[in-house]
Amino acid sequence: MTMPVLISLYIMYLRTLTPILCLYCASVSFSLAESSNVIPLWKDGAPGSEARKNEAELAKDYWVKNIHNPSLTVFLPPAGKANGTAVIICPGGGHRELVYNAEGVEPAQYLANLGVTAFALKYRLAREPGSTYSIEKDAAADLRRAVRLVRSRATEWGINPDRIGVMGMSAGAELTTLVAYYPAAGDAQAADPIERISAHPDFQISIYPGPVGVPEKIPADSPPSFFLCANDDDSHAKPMLKLMAQHRAIGVPVEVHLYAEGGHGFNMGQRSKFASIRGWPQRMADWLQDQGLLVAAEGKK
């Protein structure tokens, strides 16, 4: 083979390889950037899970499993757009897995674009095969710890500590229920200063919530809440309407959207055939705006 032919083939090889290398570098860069924004909830591992905190998570397609070192991934608003509001997002997945991208990352990105500092939570899974965890004890403890951690670092992230909300979808909304309507005061005697801080959220966003944790009567200090579900998702519409009635009974602000159709698990709506479902995130944004949560403390958006 002549030298000109060899050179030509080498150039063709480089042209083929260059896009692959660029994609690889971009992927590595993204992974590094993402990992730098991941914060474990407990430095030495979650209580009861310390021995397993170094186990690798399992991730495939849309889900993440095998979570023994619960964490927050931080999504900061664009420069100059932050308004001081924060939301901690609990993805759904039936407590067997986390629908992490569609119900964690995507809502976090949406909220960050509104100026909200968003946090996607990876919590321990009580119904994953072989799990030793419980929803009420371990998964709810992860969300309470997440609220305390964000509140403890509010100054660092430019967050108003009185504007920290929780958002959940399906099983994730069961966790927001367990935190919003049950005692979440800090322990003044705790050795860990983070545990001395209140985990009570200032507002709640609950998307097709499940029945776990719905009390017979919600307390007077329940946070203002936004609820959304499809009417043909009966097992999730019922607990939502029960909570709505309780909010109305004690005069705690509540907004409810019950769509005629849409089923369950429509995530941020873009995969739905229904126009109303595809547009639901705007209803959430409208509610946040009406609550004054998209306006910075000094009155600027």
Query: What's 245's domain CATH number?
Result: 3.40.50.1820
The Cα 31–Cα 243 span in angstroms is: 40
* Cα end-to-end span (Å), the chain: 67
Do 58 and 4 have their domain in common? Answer: no
The Cα 146–Cα 221 span in angstroms is: 20
Name the domain count of the chain.
2
Q: Measured at the alpha carbon of residue 33, what is the angle toward residues 30 and 36, in degrees to the nearest 5?
A: 145
The Cα 183–Cα 146 span in angstroms is: 15
Q: Measured at the alpha carbon of residue 14, what is the angle toward residues 9 and 15, in degrees to the nearest 5?
A: 95
The Cα 71–Cα 229 span in angstroms is: 27
89 DSSP β-pair partners? 120, 167
Q: Is residue 301 part of a domain?
A: no
Rg (CA), the chain: 22
Do 49 and 112 have their domain in common? Answer: yes
Do 31 and 95 have their domain in common? Answer: no
Do 51 and 194 have their domain in common? Answer: yes
Confidence (pLDDT) at 298: 52
207-231 confidence digits (pLDDT tens) = 999 999 999 999 999 999 999 999 9
Do 173 and 115 have their domain in common? Answer: yes
Q: Is residue 295 part of a domain?
A: no
Q: Which stretches of the chain drop beneath a pLDDT of 50?
A: 3-35, 299-301
104-129 confidence digits (pLDDT tens) = 999 999 999 999 999 999 999 999 99
Q: Is residue 299 part of a domain?
A: no
Do 17 and 91 have their domain in common? Answer: no
Q: What is the DSSP string of 225-283?
A: EEEEEETT-HHHHHHHHHHHHHHHHHT--EEEEEESS--S--TTSTT-S-HHHHTHHHH
Confidence (pLDDT) at 144: 98
Do 169 and 262 have their domain in common? Answer: yes
Do 104 and 233 have their domain in common? Answer: yes
Confidence (pLDDT) at 1: 53
Confidence (pLDDT) at 297: 64
| Contact status, residue 178 vs residue 140, Cβ threshold 8 Å | yes
Structural domain for 9, as ranges? 1-36
Do 52 and 143 have their domain in common? Answer: yes
Do 81 and 178 have their domain in common? Answer: yes
57-78 confidence digits (pLDDT tens) = 999 989 999 999 999 999 999 9
Confidence (pLDDT) at 2: 54
Q: Report pTM.
A: 0.88
